[in-house]
Structure 1
Amino acid sequence: MYKDILLPVDLNQDSSWKSALPVAIDHARAFGTRLHVMTVVPDFGMTMVGQFFPKGFEKKAVEACQSKLRAFIDTEIPKEIPTQCIVAEGTVYERILDLAKKLKIDLIVLAAHRPELKDYLLGPNAARVVRHAACSVLVVRE
């Protein structure tokens, strides 16, 4: 049923993957699919933000994040599951949606916390992904 599964994670927030990771692994095993694990680095190159960081900071941040994501995959995902490591830059929900479209993802598995009042006003990344994704989205609550 699924050929490609996307698992977005925030490496600085265990809650972004603790509940979703086992579900993504189970689905990948059950369907014999490839698991695309991604994280998003903020866009430091924006003029407003970029001026506060030293030259070359963005490249170093992406490289460090890629290394950290590979270590995460090696530690948390069983070797028999084909896995792709992806580091994107920009706005979290936009990068998730862009990548899902580009890779023709069949299922996005992501964790979500219990909504607070501020989430109803601002809209969390999970809600935006669910609303705009062209594929199935499985939201796993904590």
Structure 2
Amino acid sequence: MYNKLLIAIDLSNLESAKFVVDTALEITASNPNAIYRVVTIIEPIDDSFISAFLPKNFDKSVVEEANKTLHEFTKANFPEGTKVQHIVAHGTIYEEINRIAEEKDVDLILMLASSKPHAKGLSSNTVKVARHCKKPILVLR
């Protein structure tokens, strides 16, 4: 039985994110003690040309906005009273998912095969999570 789930979502595609959450809720339907750790990752903007045109604390404001959006999303998609932890991480997607999975000692990671709709294979981040993580992973299409 899975008690602690890490649900990796992309806030730029809320329909797919809802699918991942619905799947997690189905898996744990008979477990009232399930804890859902919902994570979204903000990748840093390293391109010095682009970053030269952005405000000084741009990354911080993006993380704050993502946190607000993540709370709104979980409120709309999880039943009231569900144990949900919101995590907005800043870094490389697969590294952050693997780090959080180990740090939080999750029982299962749920993520999409690719964040791009109608993709035919696995994204490079999904492959890297599967390759480097010691936790079970459920990859959804």
Please say whether Structure 1 and Structure 2 have the same fold, judged by a TM-score greater than 0.5: yes
Gaps of 5+ in 1: none
Q: Which deviates the most, 8-17 or 34-43?
A: 8-17
TM-score with structure 2 setting the length: 0.84
Find the counterpart in structure 2 of residue 56 from structure 1: 57
2:127 aligned with 1:139: no
- Does the CA-based 8 Å contact 2:9-2:20 persist in structure 1? no
Aligned-partner Cα distance in 1 for 2:101–2:5: 9
Amino acid at match of 1:127: V
Find the counterpart in structure 2 of residue 94 from structure 1: 95
Aligned-partner Cα distance in 2 for 1:30–1:127: 30
What are the within-5 Å matches in structure 2 for residues 1-142 of structure 1?
A: 1-14=1-14, 16-31=16-31, 32-44=33-45, 46=46, 48=48, 50-113=51-114, 115-116=119-120, 123-141=123-141
List per-residue Cα deviations over 1:52-72 (Å, max 9, x = no partner): 311111111110110000000
Secondary structure in structure 2 of the residue aligned to 1:30? coil
Aligned-partner Cα distance in 2 for 1:47–1:14: 27
- Does the CA-based 8 Å contact 1:28-1:81 persist in structure 2? no
Aligned-partner Cα distance in 2 for 1:57–1:41: 12
List per-residue Cα deviations over 1:58-94 (Å, max 9, x = no partner): 1111101100000000011111320001000011111
Gaps of 5+ in 2: none
- Does the CA-based 8 Å contact 1:16-1:112 persist in structure 2? no
Aligned-partner Cα distance in 1 for 2:47–2:127: 28
Amino acid at match of 1:36: R
Aligned-partner Cα distance in 2 for 1:130–1:38: 17
- Does the CA-based 8 Å contact 1:111-1:139 persist in structure 2? yes
Aligned-partner Cα distance in 2 for 1:50–1:98: 26
Root-mean-square deviation (CA, aligned residues, Å) is: 2.0
Query: What is the deviation of 1:5?
Result: 0.2
Q: Which deviates the most, 6-15 or 83-92?
A: 6-15
TM-score with structure 1 setting the length: 0.84
Query: What is the deviation of 1:21?
Result: 1.6
